[in-house]
Amino acid sequence: MPKRFIRRITPNRETLSKHRHLQVFGNRLHDPNLWHINRRSTAGAFAVGLFMAFLPMPFQMVWAAGAAIAFRVNLPLSVVLVWVTNPVTIPPIFLFAYLIGTWVLGAPADTEGFDFTLAWFQNGGLEGIWEPLLLGCLICGIVCSLVGYCLIRGLWRLYAVRQWEKRRQRRVNP
């Protein structure tokens, strides 16, 4: 069941290998380990995708693809998981990351002028908040990637144990 669900939600190999931004990786995209769905590659893809999703930088999908290639985990799933942060979820996620960063640094949180619009960025909105925001994003990214990795490994193991038990029951009671 997990393999079918994951295959259904991820883009196919041909689509990703023809993507113009992913042409940078050349022949490395033909590594079969990047396309397999198993416990190791899926859990690793969750870790890579969730970590990259929390980094406040442009071209997150390209960075996620590069990390997936470097760690040899499932490439499509890593790229898809970057979209945890999308135009709708970015403001609350980054606000939360900023608050985490200010809490860790012991700095006062200034949420009054916190507005994720293009005009806010052009007027220097990041000047006073970039340090706690970046620290909070790194902390949230690390925590979410570790939780995602462990959760996928645990759920995959639980599913496998249940399938083994069902097979054993069918053999005992035909």
- pLDDT one-digit tens code per residue, 99-132: 899 899 888 877 766 666 667 666 766 677 878 8
Contact 52, 78 (CB under 8 A): yes
Q: What does DSSP assign to residue 128?
A: T
- pLDDT one-digit tens code per residue, 38-93: 888 999 999 999 999 999 888 888 899 889 988 989 888 898 899 988 888 888 88
Mean pLDDT is lowest, of 109-113, 136-140, 168-172, for 109-113
pTM: 0.77
Residue 133 pLDDT level (bands cut at 50, 70, 90): confident
Give the integer Cα–Cα distance in Å for 136 and 52: 13
Domain edges within the chain:
2-172
